[in-house]
Structure 1
Amino acid sequence: MSSERTYHHGDLRRAVLTAALDVIRTEGPSAVSLRDLARRAGVSHAAPAHHFKDRTGLLTAIAAEGHELLAQALSEAPDLRERGVAYVRFALGHPAHFQVMFQPDLYRADDPGLVAAKERASAELRAGIATLDPAPDPRTAGIAAWSLAHGFATLLLTHNLDDPVGDRDPAGVFRSLAELLFAADAGQLPGE
């Protein structure tokens, strides 16, 4: 008799997602294997396929969950600048989700759950843009806001900002960047 547990797992779906997120965080998305995740969860090698069908299905579920978590984080921020801070905090707090969410070659981009989750996150970003006064072109402002937050978060996660940010709070640094750029856009210096 095998020592591998092959019977029903309490919450196999969550156990496999958690194990996959651990693998992605330490080794990257390319290291994800349903067989390995089944071994880690202590279930038969076929068990994860009942929930995700295949590796792409698992990564699609991770991307959808990430967009749901991002939408929630953005919804709790009062204005666009703080939504940018929430975006950065989300990326730092959920680096494995973040790695998968923006690599559409890893998942099924047309998955209805993923499409709905992405729309919720986009709607929260648009709601932040609506707080700007004067109101800029929403599409251009959305691209600018997303680019700033996503670029900053990506540079943090890849350790490209270790020296410039140092031991300062990344959220505070992001706020300063946003103030600097938006003040410069208005023809003012920060603090004027």
Structure 2
Amino acid sequence: MENPDKAAPRRGAYQIGNVRARLLDEALDILEREGLQALNLRDLAARAGITAGSLYHHFDGKSALLAELAAAGFEELRRRVERAGGEAAEGGRVRAWALAYFAFAQDRPALYGLMFDPTIAHAPQVSAARALAMRTIQVFVEGSPVLARASTPADKIALAVWAATHGAASLTLSGAGGPELMGDVIQGLEGLYLRR
């Protein structure tokens, strides 16, 4: 008799527990390999092994799916930034997270672009995930002994650093800046904010 623990999962159990995650994984794969314009819900459902109608049990439509992908992107970005800042020496945390941010944009350009797509930027899950990422960056700024002495509030410095980092990443992805651009931007930010 076959061990029930080793039996193949029932299709119903698969659909209940894993379809949403599978749809997101497949959508991310399409986004990264073929671009946003190639993301078609009917094709996505087929790739995930469900009917097109079943997809709507998990997402209200394409915008809802894209918002979930963008929120997941911000969560991945937040984790990378947090890990980089946590591993860096105290004086180098802002530089470490800026480089982690830049690396994320380089590694996941299609997802990075989606995360800032104005058509989904105000979706609640995207706004919440973006705010958490921003808060992580602000914590690093607040924890910097040099920045703590600055007359500019930490949230304003964090926003300026994020905007500069985002700009450098976006310029590089568009071909308007080379790989050295992020280093130049960090050096400029350090000159502005990290003067002793």
Instruction: Give 1:37's aligned amino acid.
Output: L
- Say whether residues 1:144 and 2:148 are aligned partners: no
Tell me, yes or no, if structure 1 residue 46 matches structure 2 residue 53. yes
* Aligned equivalent of 2:100: 86
Tell me the distance in 2 between the aligned counterparts of 1:108 and 1:118.
9
User: How many equivalent pairs are there?
Assistant: 171
d(CA) in 2 for partners of 1:14, 1:159: 33
CA distance in 2, matches of 1:53, 1:108: 17
Q: TM-score, normalised by structure 1?
A: 0.75
Task: For 1:95 and 1:19, locate their aligned partners in 2 and report how far apart those are by CA, in whole Å.
Answer: 17
Structure 1 residue 45 displacement after superposition? 1.3
Structure 2 residue aligned with 1:120, among 102, 124, 132? 132
Residue 159 of structure 1 corresponds to 175
| Structure 1, 20-29 or 35-44: larger mean CA deviation | 20-29
- 2:132 partner letter: R
Q: Which residue of 159, 167, 187 maps to 1:179?
A: 187
Residues 50, 66 of structure 1: alpha-carbon distance in 2 compared, 3 angstrom cutoff: same
Q: Does the CA contact (< 8 Å) of 1:126 and 1:142 recur in 2? A: yes
* Structure with a larger share of its residues in helix: 2
Q: Which stretch of the first structure deviates more once superposed, 94-103 or 58-67?
A: 94-103
Deviation at 1:127, TM superposition (A): 0.9
CA gap of 1:181–1:71, structure 2 versus 1, over 3 A, is: closer
User: Aligned-pair distance for 1:87?
Assistant: 0.8
> What do residues 27-60 of structure 1 show as CA deviations (whole Å, max 9, x unaligned)?
4323322111012223211222211121011011
Q: Distance in 1 between matches of 2:127 and 2:176?
A: 31
* 2:75–2:129 contact (8 Å) kept in structure 1: yes
- 2:51 counterpart SS class: coil
- Equivalent residue of 2:50, what SS? coil
State the Cα RMSD in Å.
2.6
TM-score by length of 2: 0.74
Structure 1: segments with no counterpart, 5+ residues: 1-6
Query: Aligned equivalents of 2:193 and 2:131: distance in 1?
Result: 30
- Equivalence for 1:69: 76
Match of 1:104, SS state, is coil
Distance 1:187 1:125 in 2: 15
The 1:151/1:179 distance shift into structure 2, 3 A limit, reads same
Structure 2 distance, partners of 1:24, 1:31, is 7
* 2:73–2:115 CA contact under 8 A, matched in 1: yes
Separation (CA, whole Å) in 1 of partners of 2:97 and 2:136: 8
State the partner residue of 1:35.
Answer: 42
Contact conserved, 1:57 with 1:108, CA < 8 A, in 2?
A: no
Aligned twin of 1:4? none
